[in-house]
């Protein structure tokens, strides 16, 4: 049974090979000053930058660039972006890149007209915006985070070794997002599969909570099966348009807040993975992959019915002659085998984590209570050790 909820998503999506053409439909809604946000420069190699700039110029926009957004955007970079957007008198922040660029743009959007330090206000005190918000638009080049259709933003503070997310309200969601699967095809395989696992785990975080039969879990199972099927195709043939387009669309639906309606949700894999990422600066999807199986095996006895359902409905495990525990564990084994096939990290040590970091990572892990088991600190330490 679903609980009471409201649902509204403010983001308009343009999807497909011709989707960038619709940027010209959106631009007249905003003023002349556009801050163009992007990452390390890959969009200049694959032609996306040139195409976007041409459209901005054709629409008479003033372009101020804010490049160099790193995979785990930092508090220092956020403060720099606020200075750039203020000086530009930004009317629109246009993020062209992956989820990190989108996350970063949203963090800048709520900070440009705020006098407080953005890290302290939003990622330490977790306050909501009380100032004018600069609109955000996204041109997505990597599938994974779902940031193109939600209010989430994750920022890393290197000084304090914290990686913290803040989910803002619908007024911070991108006003529009442009999703062309072709733009994702120049990604290295490692980035592609990290995005795939990020998608899968977003679904798991919302699925592994509650015991009731509900529509949200039915949708989650269908999305997980789609991600599994299409990821195997994409690993073999990274230019398969059908597989890449299905992955990209699944990423958006995995975290546009629909699946979580009427449910509690877990998110402890993200808390563990983000804490590890703050220490290693490793790719987000890889940190999630490294901690997932130890965490799920730890909480399986407390959510046995759902893990059994996961095994049967997602992994097609035959239940005949098996106990519930055997069925549930067979599902996690099937998940592990899939993770190996697509090539995501299996251990935090692969990502640079060491035994000496464990206590610090544990200290940086936020404990949430929406899943099947509220962890205590010794359990966090044990899971992290098993993840090494």
Each residue of 8-47: pLDDT tens digit?
Answer: 899 999 999 999 999 999 999 999 999 999 998 889 999 9
Cβ–Cβ contacts within 10 Å for residue 343, how many? 16
- Are 155 and 78 in contact by the 8 Å Cβ rule? The answer is yes
**In the listed set 143, 162, 183, which residue is the last one of a domain according to the structure?**
183
My answer on whether 274 and 138 are in the same domain is no
Q: Are residues 148 and 100 in the same domain?
A: yes
pLDDT score, position 288: 98
What secondary structure, in 3-state letters, does the chain show? CCCCCCCCCCCEEEECCCHHHHHHHHHHHCCCEEEEECCCCHHHHCCHHHHHHHHHHHCCCEEEEECCCCCCCEHHHHHHHHHHHHHHCCCEEEEEECHHHHHHHHHHHCCCCCCCCHHHHHHHCCCCCCCCCCCEEEEECCCCCCHHHCCEEEEEECCCCEEEEEECCHHHCCCEEEECHHHHCCCCHHHHHHHHHHHHHHHHHHHCCCCCCCHHHHHHHHHHHHHHHHHHHHHHCCCCHHHHHHHHHHHHHHCCCCCCCCCCCCCHHHHHHHHHHHHHCCCHHHHHHHHHHHHHHHHHHHHHHHHHHHHHHHHCCCCCCCCHHHHHHHHHHHHHHHHHHHCCCCCHHHHCCCHHHHHHHHHCCCCCCCCCCCCCHHHHHHHHHHHC
**Which pLDDT score is estimated for 94?**
98
pLDDT, tens only, 288-317:
999 999 999 999 999 999 999 999 999 999
Judgement on whether residues 252 and 114 belong to the same structural domain of the protein: no
Question: Strand 136-140 and strand 176-179: pairing?
Answer: parallel
- Please list, in sequence order, all residues whose beta carbon lies within 8 angstroms of the beta carbon of residue 318, skipping any fewer than 6 positions away: none
Structure confidence at residue 181 (pLDDT): 97
pLDDT on residue 148: 98
pLDDT of residue 37: 98
How many angstroms separate the CA atoms of 183 and 167, rounded? 26
150 and 272 assigned to the same domain: no
Q: What is the Cα–Cα distance from 193 to 348, expressed in whole angstroms?
A: 16
Residue 243 belongs to what domain range? Answer: 189-387
Q: Are residues 166 and 223 in the same domain?
A: no
Please list the ranges in the chain whose pLDDT falls under 50: none
The residue among 224, 263, 233, 230 whose CA lies nearest residue 246 is 230
Residues 34 and 96 in one domain: yes
**Domain final residue pick, 183, 198, 222:** 183
**124 in a domain, yes or no?**
yes
One domain for residues 113 and 259: no
Q: Is 377 left (phi over 0), alpha (psi -120 to 50) or beta?
A: alpha
In a domain, 3, yes or no: no
Q: Is residue 7 part of a domain?
A: no
Same domain, 169 and 218: no
Domain for residue 309, yes or no? yes
Crossing angle of helices 284-299 and 377-387, in 10° steps, is: 120
Q: Say whether both 206 and 74 belong to one domain.
A: no
**In a shared domain, residues 301 and 321:** yes
Residue 177 inside a domain? The answer is yes
In a domain, 255, yes or no: yes
The answer to whether residues 168 and 265 belong to one domain is no
Domain boundary among 159, 183, 207: 183
pLDDT (0 to 100) of residue 1: 64
In a domain, 6, yes or no: no
- The CATH number of whichever domain residue 368 belongs to comes to 1.20.1090.10
Same domain, 18 and 165: yes
């Amino acid at each position: 049974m679903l609980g009471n909820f409201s649902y509204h998503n403010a983001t308009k999506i343009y999807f497909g090979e011709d989707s960038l053409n619709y940027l010209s439909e959106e631009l007249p809604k905003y003023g002349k000053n556009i801050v163009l946000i992007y990452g390390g420069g890959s969009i200049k190699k694959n032609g996306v930058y040139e195409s976007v700039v041409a459209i901005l110029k054709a629409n008479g926009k003033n372009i101020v660039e804010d490049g160099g957004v790193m995979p785990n955007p930092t508090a220092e970079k956020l403060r720099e972006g606020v200075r750039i957007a203020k000086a530009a008198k930004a009317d629109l922040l246009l993020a062209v890149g992956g989820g990190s660029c989108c996350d970063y743009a949203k963090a800048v959007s709520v900070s440009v007209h705020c006098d407080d330090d953005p890290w302290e206000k939003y990622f330490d005190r977790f306050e909501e915006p009380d100032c004018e918000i600069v609109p955000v638009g996204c041109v997505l080049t990597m599938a994974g985070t779902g940031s193109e259709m939600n209010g989430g933003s994750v920022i890393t503070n290197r000084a304090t070794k914290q990686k913290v997310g803040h989910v803002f309200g619908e007024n911070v969601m991108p006003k529009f997002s442009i999703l062309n699967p072709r733009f994702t095809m120049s990604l290295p395989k490692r980035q592609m599969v990290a995005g795939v696992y990020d998608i899968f785990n977003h679904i798991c975080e919302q699925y592994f909570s509650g015991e009731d039969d509900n529509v949200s879990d039915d949708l989650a199972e269908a999305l997980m099966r789609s991600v599994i099927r299409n990821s195997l195709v994409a690993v073999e043939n990274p230019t398969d348009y059908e597989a890449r387009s299905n992955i990209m669309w699944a990423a958006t639906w995995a975290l546009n807040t629909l699946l979580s309606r009427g449910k509690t949700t877990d998110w402890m894999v993200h808390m563990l993975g983000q804490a590890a990422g703050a220490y290693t600066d490793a790719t987000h999807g890889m940190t999630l992959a490294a901690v997932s199986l130890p965490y799920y095996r730890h909480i399986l006895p407390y959510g046995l019915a759902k893990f059994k359902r996961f095994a049967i409905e997602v992994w097609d495990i035959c239940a005949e002659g098996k106990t519930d525990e055997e069925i549930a564990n067979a599902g996690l084994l099937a998940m592990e085998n899939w993770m190996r096939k697509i090539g995501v990290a299996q251990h935090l040590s692969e990502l640079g984590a060491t035994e000496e970091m464990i206590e610090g990572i544990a200290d940086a892990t936020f404990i949430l209570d929406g899943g099947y088991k509220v962890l205590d600190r010794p359990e966090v330490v044990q899971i992290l050790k098993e993840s090494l």
